[in-house]
């Protein structure tokens, strides 16, 4: 079942519930990758393959950043999990699709009416598969289970010096030669700077500069913001690269100075390492179109996950549609705090 060599640009149709159900084990998984209840609504619909998932970054095992090999899996357009089957998690992860859950179609043909056979059984199995009991702090605990928490089990370890992983990115159509060479040149430069102990890690930290007092912006979805410059953000960052526990990642640096719309205020996410739901009480935002590129951090090169980074309001300033700076309450301001 399934087309074995799907590539970016192929048009596919998500198979019927009965067909998908036949590929799953008792944990609603195929090759340890769960079919999640959030995916069921896409059955019978057509999408374009945006990328083959040849590898992903490891955010579960801890330690230095590294990548892991994934097989027979693709991403479709920018389909993301809405958390509806996982307690309202707001991480917005991209959804992995095993090739056996898809069929390649001719985009010129008319789609068949969606099939509903097996829908109830698939929904019931997928919902059961969202929960598990695991050891947390030495004791059994009920936790969530999703594609992100199962990433370690659904993949194999990769050595950073295994050049085949980069060749696969090229031959699969995920990246073009120019991009591959550009990232390779940057990674070599970073490696040399690490050897010379000239590579800043974390990328920003305070350095003893007094933290400026900045008003709470109380940003809402739809508000337009400008990401502050590294020099403005650095005073808020401690020596561990964090502001009130939230890290400023190297992948966030390219967005400094850019203007974006607030996508959401994040109040809860699933911890990928434990499966526990984390409640976030302080300001934490994601921005439209602002995702990890997998090109700036050692060990993550060409990771396709496009994770949303989380932003503190102290790293942002409110602006209007024309880019004019606004005061904390959203009114026009000719002069505001730096």
Q: What is the secondary structure of 207-262 as a DSSP string? A: TTPPPPP-------TT-EEEEPPHHHHGGG--TTSEETTEE--GGGGGGTT-EEEE
Q: What per-residue confidence (pLDDT) applies to 177?
A: 93
CA 327, CA 334: separation in Å to the nearest integer? 9
pTM: 0.90
**Per residue in 26-45, is it b (16+ CB within 10 Å) or e — as a string?**
eebbbeebbbbbbbbebbbe
List the pLDDT tens digit at each of the 338 positions of the chain: 545 589 999 999 999 999 999 999 999 999 999 999 999 999 999 999 999 999 999 988 877 778 999 999 999 999 999 999 999 999 999 999 999 999 999 999 988 888 889 999 999 999 999 999 887 778 877 899 999 999 999 999 998 778 899 999 999 999 999 988 988 888 888 778 778 777 777 888 887 777 777 778 999 999 999 999 999 999 999 888 899 999 999 999 999 999 999 999 999 999 999 999 999 999 999 999 999 998 887 778 899 999 999 999 999 999 987 777 776 666 655 334 44
Structure token pair of residue 217:
């912006």
Specify whether the CB–CB gap between 247 and 203 falls below 8 A.
no
Looking at the DSSP assignment, which residues form a beta bridge with residue 306?
Answer: none
Q: What per-residue confidence (pLDDT) applies to 298?
A: 76
Looking at the DSSP assignment, which residues form a beta bridge with residue 243?
Answer: 246
Which whole-number Å values give the CA distances from 229 to 29, 233, 260, 316, in the listed order? 44, 6, 14, 9
Structure token pair of residue 115:
């099939």
Q: What per-residue confidence (pLDDT) applies to 197?
A: 77
CA 241, CA 231: separation in Å to the nearest integer? 14
Specify whether the CB–CB gap between 209 and 234 falls below 8 A.
yes
Planar angle of CA 142, 146, 151, nearest 5 degrees = 115
CA 287, CA 162: separation in Å to the nearest integer? 34
Q: What per-residue confidence (pLDDT) applies to 216?
A: 85
Structure token pair of residue 150:
């199962």
């Amino acid at each position: 079942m399934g087309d074995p060599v799907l590539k970016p640009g192929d048009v596919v149709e998500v198979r019927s519930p009965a067909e998908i159900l036949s590929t799953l084990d008792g944990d609603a998984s195929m090759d340890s990758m769960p079919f999640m209840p959030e995916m069921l609504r896409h059955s019978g619909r057509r999408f374009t393959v945006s990328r083959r998932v040849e590898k992903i970054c490891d955010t579960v095992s801890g330690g230095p950043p590294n990548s892991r090999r994934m097989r027979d899996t693709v991403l479709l357009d920018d389909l993301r999990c809405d958390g509806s089957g996982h307690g309202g998690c707001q991480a917005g992860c991209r959804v992995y699709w095993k090739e056996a859950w898809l069929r390649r179609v001719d985009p010129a043909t008319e789609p068949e009416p969606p099939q509903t056979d097996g829908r109830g059984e698939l929904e019931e199995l997928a919902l059961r598969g969202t929960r598990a009991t695991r050891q947390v702090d030495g004791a059994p605990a009920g936790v969530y289970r999703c594609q992100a928490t199962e990433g370690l089990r659904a993949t194999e370890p990769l050595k950073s010096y295994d050049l085949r992983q980069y060749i696969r990115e090229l031959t699969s159509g995920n990246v073009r030669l120019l991009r591959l060479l550009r990232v390779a040149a940057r990674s070599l430069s970073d490696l040399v700077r690490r050897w010379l102990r000239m590579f800043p890690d974390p990328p920003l930290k305070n350095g003893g500069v007094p933290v400026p007092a900045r008003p709470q912006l109380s940003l809402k979805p739809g508000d337009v913001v400008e990401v502050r410059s590294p020099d403005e953000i650095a005073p808020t960052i401690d020596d561990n690269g964090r502001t009130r526990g939230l890290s400023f990642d190297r992948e966030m640096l390219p967005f400094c100075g850019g203007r974006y719309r607030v996508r959401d205020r994040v109040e809860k996410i699933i911890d990928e390492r434990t499966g526990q739901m984390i409640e976030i009480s302080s300001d934490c935002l994601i921005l439209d179109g602002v995702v990890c590129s997998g090109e700036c951090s050692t060990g993550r090169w060409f990771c396709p996950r496009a994770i949303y980074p989380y932003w503190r309001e102290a790293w942002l300033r409110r602006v209007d549609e024309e880019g004019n700076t606004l005061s904390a309450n959203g009114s026009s301001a000719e002069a505001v705090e730096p």
